[in-house]
Amino acid sequence: MPKREGRASVLRISKVYENPSGVKLKLEGRIVFEWVSILEEKILECLKKNKKLLLDFSELRFVDKHGVEMLRRMPFEKIEIINCPGFIEELLKEGSQ
């Protein structure tokens, strides 16, 4: 059983492209507590090098409260989220109201 649980909490971060004006990352799986600091570090690293960050959420299946909190702290003037599942979009909006 623990094996299945571990596999369920995988987050894959793939760099789709990078150029001087921006970078696109595709996130697949689940953003949960154990991956939040790694994702935050990757996002901040990309923002230091580039003007704009595009996050593709098309394969994202779940975001826990820690992931939502971290995403809300990010500088959204430099980040664009695309292909965001509706339920994740609602979670991100809830705290910004």
**What pTM was estimated for this model as a whole?**
0.85
Taking the alpha carbons at both ends of the chain, their separation in whole angstroms is 39
For residue 50, give its domain range: 2-94
Residue 88: give its domain's CATH number.
Answer: 3.30.750.24
Residue 79 has pLDDT above 70, yes or no: yes
How many Cα atoms are found within 13 Å in the side-chain-facing hemisphere of 82?
A: 8
Query: pLDDT tens-digit profile of 9-22?
Result: 799 999 999 998 89
Residues 6+ apart with CB under 8 A from 17: 23, 24
Tell me, what's the pLDDT at 8? 56
- Joined tokens for residue 24: 């696109």
- Work out whether the CA dihedral 23, 59, 72, 63 comes out positive or negative: negative
Q: What is the mean pLDDT of the chain?
A: 89
Domain count, the chain: 1
Tell me, what's the pLDDT at 1? 33
Taking residues 14-40, what's their average pLDDT? Answer: 95
d(CA 23, CA 49): 9
CA angle 42, 45, 47 (to 5 degrees): 110
